[in-house]
Structure 1
Amino acid sequence: MPATTIHFVRHGKVYNPDHLLYERLPDFHLSEQGARMAAATARFMALNPATQAVVAVYASPLERAQETAQIIADGMNQMRKSQGRKPLELMSDERLIEAGNEFRGQRKDRWPLMALQPANWSLMSNLMEPSWGESYRAIAERMRDFAYEQVERYPGQQIIAVSHESPIWAFRRLLETGKPEHNMLLRHTALASVTSITFDVESKNVLGITYANPASGVQ
């Protein structure tokens, strides 16, 4: 029974001195710590027999995801070069992008105050959907479309997909519970973490989900 594994990686820490809700805004790059996080995840994946057989690397088009993915691909390629294998190339996919959010550009510490303003009450009508941007179901379904397409494209193989906290967790929730809606404060998707999902190629059923946090000690 062939199976395809997709390693969903969250990007590393972002340089954000103004503490903005950057969401899909451009020009938010990895911080120095974020680059080190990505490098730690690259080492983990290159040295781990369970992950070093990757054949493709995809990423959200946002800079922080692209930079994380490139660092990982470069780390994997060092190993592949020593083995005489073809280097991995980075590919982009819009379905891996961060969720849309109507509060983007606001300071994180002012977000609660913005939510209390009468003009924004309609955006706060449903905390579980959520009503302030792209719904968790829409996020999870585009991630599912991406995953199923790759399962068919890479039967019996492994790929990396660098995305964002909300898309990775919403998709995992959909697979595990059938309901992507969740409390955003209870996500289990650390920076530069790896959520690996294995699918049966024929049925698309989930055969297993594992989680690793190789950058947890990076300062």
Structure 2
Amino acid sequence: MPSTTIHFIRHGKVENPDHLLYERLPGFHLSDLGRRMAEATADYAAADPQLSDVVAVYSSPLDRTRETAGIILDALNKVRAERGEEPLELQTDSRIIEAGNEFRGKRIGYGEGALWRNGNWRLVRNLWKPSWGESYQHIAARVGDFAQEKVREYAGKQIIAVSHESPIWSYRHLLETGHPEHNMFLRHTALASVTSITYDSETGKMLSISYADPAKDVR
């Protein structure tokens, strides 16, 4: 049975001294720690027989994911050069972008512009169904659309998709439980982690899911 694997990788830690909910806002880049996290995952990918054999690298269009993907791509292209293979180029896809959120630009905690001021807390009615932004159903559906398209396009091969916590976990939760709704505080998607989903290349059915956290000890 031919299979296709998509390795969903979360971006590294972001430089955010004002503790803002940055969502899809521009100008939020990897911190020094975030770059080290991405480098740890890049080293992990380059050393892994499966990950080092990917044929495409995708990213959400946001700065932090593109920077993470770029670091990983550099490591993979060094391996490809040693094999005499052509380098891969980064491709972006808006279907794996961060979830839309009505709280973008708000501060986490206290002070002017804090999340809980001006009645914003009233939007948080149900952690399993985010009334404050894009629904988990919509998030999982767009990631699933991306995945099924790539399973057909890269049948029998492997690719990387650098995305964000909510899209990765909402989609994984849908595949594992049949519904994308979940408690955001119970996600298992660490920064720079790798969630590998393998599909039947012919039917698109999920065969297995594995998880790795190469950057867990990075400080």
Within 5 Å, give how 1:62-141 maps onto structure 2.
62-110=62-110, 114-115=115-116, 117-118=118-119, 121=122, 123-141=123-141
- Given the alignment of the two structures, is residue 208 of structure 1 paired with residue 169 of structure 2, yes or no? no
Q: Note the C-alpha offset of 1:203.
A: 1.2
Q: Which amino acid in structure 2 is aligned with residue 168 of structure 1?
A: I
Mark the CA change 1:177 to 1:119 in structure 2 (over 3 Å): closer, same or farther.
Answer: closer
Q: Note the C-alpha offset of 1:142.
A: 0.2
Mark the CA change 1:170 to 1:114 in structure 2 (over 3 Å): closer, same or farther.
Answer: same
> 2: distance between equivalents of 1:180 and 1:117?
30
Q: What is the percent sequence identity of the aligned residues?
A: 62
Q: Which amino acid in structure 2 is aligned with residue 89 of structure 1?
A: E
Within 5 Å, give how 1:31-50 maps onto structure 2.
31-50=31-50
Tell me what 2:196 maps to. 196
Mark the CA change 1:211 to 1:177 in structure 2 (over 3 Å): closer, same or farther.
Answer: same
Task: Confirm or deny: 8 A CA contact 1:45 1:51 kept in the other structure.
Answer: yes
> 2: distance between equivalents of 1:118 and 1:20?
17
Task: Confirm or deny: 8 A CA contact 1:115 1:124 kept in the other structure.
Answer: no
Q: Note the C-alpha offset of 1:89.
A: 0.6
> 1: distance between equivalents of 2:65 and 2:159?
15
C-alpha root-mean-square deviation of aligned residues, in Å? 1.4
> 2: distance between equivalents of 1:118 and 1:149?
41
> 2: distance between equivalents of 1:107 and 1:114?
5
Within 5 Å, give how 1:55-66 maps onto structure 2.
55-66=55-66
TM-score after normalising by structure 1: 0.96
Tell me what 2:18 maps to. 18
> 1: distance between equivalents of 2:105 and 2:32?
22
Q: Which amino acid in structure 2 is aligned with residue 60 of structure 1?
A: S
> 2: distance between equivalents of 1:116 and 1:83?
56
Gaps of 5+ in 2: none
Gaps of 5+ in 1: none
Count of aligned pairs: 217
Give the SS at the match of 1:108: coil
Task: Confirm or deny: 8 A CA contact 1:41 1:72 kept in the other structure.
Answer: yes
> 1: distance between equivalents of 2:162 and 2:94?
11
The 4+ residue runs of structure 1 with deviation greater than 3 A are 113-120
- Given the alignment of the two structures, is residue 177 of structure 1 paired with residue 172 of structure 2, yes or no? no
Q: Which amino acid in structure 2 is aligned with residue 139 of structure 1?
A: I
Give the SS at the match of 2:162: strand
Give the SS at the match of 2:159: strand
Give the SS at the match of 2:55: strand
Give the SS at the match of 2:70: helix
Give the SS at the match of 1:6: strand
